[in-house]
Structure 1
Amino acid sequence: MRQAAQDAAVQGRTFVEMREAPRSSLMFRTAKLLCESGEYVCVVRDISATGARVRLFHAPPPDTHLFLELANGDRYGVERMWHRDDHMGFRFSCTIDVDHFIAEPSLYSRRPIRLKLQRPVDVVAEGIASPAVLLDISQQGARIEAGRKFALEQKVRIAIEGQSSRLGCVRWRSGYTHGVVLQQTFKLDELANFALALQPFGATDPNAPSPVALRYA
């Protein structure tokens, strides 16, 4: 009994210390959660050296241990501690450098969060549909791998089963991999729910919200 009480006291002190670590408010830092069930958009609202609070746009993934990845590719191991409404609290697997996290240094200009999906799609160009794979997607664009090469600046329509078509323009090409700029960008919550519907967690969770349907003029 005495040992159990001592263990509980230690756990309590650890939780209090984690909560009492100085926090830095990050009003809006887009990131993503990586876990076995997929990749999900989130927004980091505040952090400390030991933990973070993030906002989600849908039901949380079921995983307990995840990674939190920033737009510059920095990845942090986290453990879910609590979930309330659309916010979740995480504990970092080790103490982090808060200043480095906030600065988010990168050799490149800041890029939007991209979600890796690996989903089959049809790419329609000049009335001809070609099978392809959607490799990743962001608020502004998508990367696809197709069985044919599309011309630069060619208008294409990306058709995904169960989703509205996305119109775009081929901006770059490397072999059979193409970068497509979307004609109409996603809002962050729209991207979050779109990605949720295409990943196993969203496909199997009966309580997950329906994706936002986007239509192009």
Structure 2
Amino acid sequence: MAPRVTLLLRTAKLTAGDREFLCIIRDVSATGIRLRLFHPLPEGATLVLETGNGDRYPLEPVWSYGENAGFRFLERINLGRLLKGPYEKFPKRQIRLRQALNGTIALANGPVDVTFENISQQGACVKCDRHLAIDQMIVLKAGGLPPVQAKVRWRRRPHYGLIFEQTFQIEELARLLAP
């Protein structure tokens, strides 16, 4: 049995087929990992864990109990790299989920439809046909999300990067985006 490194609380993304789910890495060894999940995973889907630096690890489920689940790595991993974390060379960036989510933004002259490209605890990338100004304040409404005040941080029309005025807790966002 491989020694485990415990008490990790690192946000990650678990891909199951074409779906993406937020999770928290709880502990890890050279052969396996324990994750905190916020919802059930689809049966029979190919599972891949993606960390904040973009490293991807194919997984096989071993056990599940409540919100925790154990997985075996299907390929040899560099445990030191996984433990070092994603931010050794680049600034910290939140895990982004690609979501098929439609919504609207409230503008002074009425609502405008948007399509989400991705979403994180701190912001989102949306596609919008209307021109938005940098630093423009908007109210975003979508699916099961509460109305969110956000500011336009960047644009590459028709894509816009939004930063939320109030961020989501990881568990809150995971549950709001759950199927």
Name the TM-score, length of structure 1 as normaliser: 0.77
Tell me, yes or no, if structure 1 residue 89 matches structure 2 residue 43: no
In 1, are the aligned partners of 2:94 and 2:120 still within 8 Å (CA)? Answer: yes
Tell me, yes or no, if structure 1 residue 31 matches structure 2 residue 12: yes
Find the partner of 1:187 among 159, 169, 173: 169
Give the deviation of 1:127 after TM superposition.
Answer: 4.1
Give the deviation of 1:62 after TM superposition.
Answer: 2.8
Count of aligned pairs between the two proteins: 178
CA distance in 2 between partners of 1:186 and 1:48 (Å): 30
- Quote the residue 2:46 is aligned against: 65
Tell me, yes or no, if structure 1 residue 78 matches structure 2 residue 92: no
- Quote the residue 2:95 is aligned against: 113
CA distance in 2 between partners of 1:160 and 1:141 (Å): 13
Amino acid at match of 1:160: A
In 1, are the aligned partners of 2:100 and 2:116 still within 8 Å (CA)? Answer: yes
- Quote the residue 2:114 is aligned against: 132
Give the deviation of 1:169 after TM superposition.
Answer: 0.8
In 2, are the aligned partners of 1:21 and 1:49 still within 8 Å (CA)? Answer: yes
In 2, are the aligned partners of 1:64 and 1:79 still within 8 Å (CA)? Answer: no
Describe how 1:169-208 pairs up with structure 2 within 5 A. Answer: 169-196=151-178, 202=179
Computed over aligned residues only, the root mean square deviation of the Cα atoms, in angstroms, reads 1.6
Cα distance per residue 1:74-93 (max 9 Å; x no partner): 11000111101110000111
Tell me, yes or no, if structure 1 residue 43 matches structure 2 residue 9: no
CA distance in 2 between partners of 1:35 and 1:21 (Å): 26
CA distance in 2 between partners of 1:42 and 1:162 (Å): 19
In 1, are the aligned partners of 2:53 and 2:86 still within 8 Å (CA)? Answer: yes
Describe how 1:158-173 pairs up with structure 2 within 5 A. Answer: 158-173=140-155
Give the deviation of 1:105 after TM superposition.
Answer: 4.5
Amino acid at match of 2:139: R
Structure 2, unaligned stretches of length 5 or more? Answer: none
Query: Alignment partner of 1:101: what SS?
Result: helix
CA distance in 2 between partners of 1:192 and 1:134 (Å): 16
Amino acid at match of 1:85: G
CA distance in 1 between partners of 2:80 and 2:7 (Å): 12
Amino acid at match of 2:82: F
In 2, are the aligned partners of 1:115 and 1:138 still within 8 Å (CA)? Answer: yes
Please, which moves more after superposition, 117-126 or 57-66? Answer: 57-66
Give the deviation of 1:65 after TM superposition.
Answer: 2.9
Identity of aligned residues (%): 36
Query: Alignment partner of 1:189: what SS?
Result: helix
Please, which moves more after superposition, 159-168 or 67-76? Answer: 159-168
Structure 1, unaligned stretches of length 5 or more? Answer: 1-19, 197-201, 203-217
Give the deviation of 1:158 after TM superposition.
Answer: 1.3
Structure number with larger C-alpha Rg: 1
Please, which moves more after superposition, 66-75 or 166-175? Answer: 166-175
Question: Following superposition, which runs of at least 4 residues in structure 1 exceed 4 angstroms of deviation?
Answer: none
Give the deviation of 1:37 after TM superposition.
Answer: 4.9
